[in-house]
Amino acid sequence: MGSALAVLGFAFAGSGAGVPEGIWVRDGYELTVAVEGIKTPRFLATGPDGELFVSVPAQGCIYTCRDGDGDGFYEKMATFVGGRDPKSVLQGMQFHDGWLWFAQLNQVSRARDGDGDGIADEEVVVLGPEAIPTGKNGGHMWRALLIHKGRIYTHVGDQTNATDEPIDASERKKIWSFALDGTDKRQFASGVRNTEKFAIRPGTDEIWGVDHDVDMMGWQMEGDRQNGQPITDHNPPAELNHYVAGGFYGHPWIVGKAQPNLLFLDHPELMKFAGMTIIPEWTMAAHCAGNGMCFYTGDQIPGAHGDAFVAQRGSWNATQKVGYCLSRILFEDGHPYGEQKMVNFLRAGTEVLGRPADCAQAADGSILISDDTGNRVYRLRYRGR
């Protein structure tokens, strides 16, 4: 068995460590370790044969993980692509039409494994620095990636916390789309601060994503903060947005549900921007840092078909910790109406036991959750009450 794995290019991932004591899991569900041995795993994508792709920006690589015996633990691992500059921020991934598409700050590529060893043996650069928006290091560099209906969608966030510049002054804070060959560049939407992953709502062509809220919103009024952060702690909310062609989502001047950003109360066009803004479909706790999300299409979790799962990584800009959880956004008739915490990595409100960066649906209908500080990928599944 070991020699066969060596021929295939796979190595055994580490095993043995379990779920840290103190992580809360919703009643009726079980949390187990799905992947160990990858340091700082961040974003996840699944392939048609059940393989799991894990991006590690800090190492400049993407791993292929496989669960050979179907027990929910991915015991085999190989480097699908590697050797990338960590400063290029390798992140967004999607398996499409036999290829794994992946985004870096300054390019979008597709690669495939032709001989089944878990290592890409063919790679094509589809978008290079000359075509991709804002191929520069700095600011919010995480690049979302979506392949849908013959188009590539990508986004790079604000170059600062909240940059006040004319809407068309730069290519940042916008969603862009291209043809699959990298031509036909189009602006899709604007006013988007930092959306790190896109998802298509099941049965539709709707593009959704979680946008990070701004930091320090009340600092000008809170001064030396001798009275704490009564404004900043609770404002603005993180946003779950439905992105539409030509849509404007407010950043940096409007946050939440058409609320003026307190940093720009004197802006002469504030009310114009408010009137233009498409408000979020759902709002989450301020500074929860919703990162990755996925819509659920399986049947392993009862009643969850069409709901969204969001990995909330947690934030620095609050006096009490918030986020550090996997949440489920409940949908009805195409719109969210409630939120449940499914896994809580924060014990007693102060001790951080993990920081979920992304979530994805596995082939068996369970939910995979990357923890980029605990160096694990977890698996959440329903066990019944």
Nearest to 312 by CA among 357, 351, 248: 357
Residue that wins the pLDDT comparison between 336 and 85? 336
Q: Is 220 left (phi over 0), alpha (psi -120 to 50) or beta?
A: alpha
Task: Kindly list the distances between the CA atom of residue 260 and the CA atoms of 91, 230, 235, 254, in Å, as whole numbers in the listed order.
Answer: 31, 17, 11, 5
pLDDT at position 1 is 30
Q: What is the mean pLDDT of residues 98-122?
A: 96
Query: pTM here?
Result: 0.94
Q: Coil, strand or helix: which one is 109?
A: strand
Q: pLDDT band for 270, please (50, 70, 90 cuts).
A: very high
Q: pLDDT band for 9, please (50, 70, 90 cuts).
A: low
Give the integer Cα–Cα distance in Å for 372 and 43: 9
Residue-wise pLDDT tens digits, 316-346: 999 999 999 999 999 999 999 999 999 999 9
- Is the predicted pLDDT of residue 15 greater than 60, yes or no? no
Residue-wise pLDDT tens digits, 355-378: 999 999 999 999 999 999 999 999
> Domain spans of the chain?
2-382
66 contacts: CB under 8 Å, gap ≥ 6: 10, 50, 51, 52, 74, 75, 76, 77, 118
* Contact of 350 with 321, CB cutoff 8 Å: yes
| Averaged pLDDT of the chain | 93
- Is the predicted pLDDT of residue 13 greater than 80, yes or no? no
Domain 2-382 classified CATH 1.10.132.20?
no
Bridge-partner residues for 346, per DSSP?
352
Q: What is the mean pLDDT of residues 34-63?
A: 96
pLDDT at position 213 is 86
353 contacts: CB under 8 Å, gap ≥ 6: 20, 22, 23, 324, 345, 346, 347, 374
In the block, residue with structure tokens 């795993």: 41
Bridge-partner residues for 17, per DSSP?
none
Q: At CB < 8 A and 24+ separation, what contacts does 147-150 make?
A: 147/94, 147/96, 147/101, 147/180, 148/200, 148/205, 148/207, 149/205, 150/179, 150/180
Residue-wise pLDDT tens digits, 180-220: 999 999 999 999 999 999 999 999 999 999 999 899 999 99
What percent of the chain lies above the pLDDT cut of 90? 88
pLDDT at position 136 is 81
Residue that wins the pLDDT comparison between 1 and 257? 257
167 contacts: CB under 8 Å, gap ≥ 6: 190, 191, 248
In terms of DSSP H, where are the helices of the chain?
2-8, 219-222, 270-276
- Is the predicted pLDDT of residue 133 greater than 90, yes or no? no
- Is the predicted pLDDT of residue 310 greater than 70, yes or no? yes
What percent of the chain lies above the pLDDT cut of 70? 95
pLDDT at position 6 is 31
- Is the predicted pLDDT of residue 122 greater than 60, yes or no? yes
- Is the predicted pLDDT of residue 134 greater than 90, yes or no? no
Q: Tokens in use for 153?
A: 């969608």
pLDDT at position 356 is 98
Q: What is the mean pLDDT of residues 303-317?
A: 96
- Is the predicted pLDDT of residue 144 greater than 70, yes or no? yes
348 contacts: CB under 8 Å, gap ≥ 6: none
pLDDT at position 68 is 92
Q: What is the mean pLDDT of residues 92-118?
A: 96
Q: What is the mean pLDDT of residues 121-130?
A: 95
Give the integer Cα–Cα distance in Å for 89 and 81: 14
* Contact of 138 with 159, CB cutoff 8 Å: yes
